Amino acid sequence: MESYIQHASGYQKNNITLDDIKKAILDVQNMDGEHGAFWVSVITDDENVKETNKDLQLSIIFDEEELKYAATDWNEIVSFYNLLLGKRFEEIKENIK
């Protein structure tokens, strides 16, 4: 397993693609309540996790450091996940500063 996704609704899948993330975004957007969220993890030497909430808040953990970020829209979220799946962690860090 190199990557996985998990939705707050209980759905999970291993070895994901960007299409899986886009489906998760649609699911979160359609969830009732305020706790809609999904998590994606890409495993290298460490586990690199990114959580996205329905209100576009990101929580990102790289090398045991947690970063918070408020995205401007869902397209930005997709862009960040594309970088995550490509293991381009430094680019993500640079973009959220």
Q: How high is the pLDDT of residue 73?
A: 95
Residue 31 lies in a domain: yes
Name the pTM for this structure: 0.87
Query: What's the one-letter identity of residue 54?
Result: K
Domain of 63, in residue numbers:
3-92
Strands 37-43 and 3-7: antiparallel
**Can you give the pLDDT at residue 33?**
65
- With respect to residue 97, please indicate whether it lies within any of the assigned structural domains: no
Whether 67 maps to a domain, the answer reads yes
User: Is 52 inside a domain boundary?
Assistant: yes
Q: Is residue 15 part of a domain?
A: yes
Per the structure, the count of domains in the chain is 1
| pLDDT of the chain, 97 residues: tens digit per residue | 689 999 877 788 999 999 999 999 988 888 776 668 899 999 887 778 888 988 999 999 887 888 899 999 999 999 999 999 999 988 998 988 7
- Residue 76: predicted pLDDT: 95
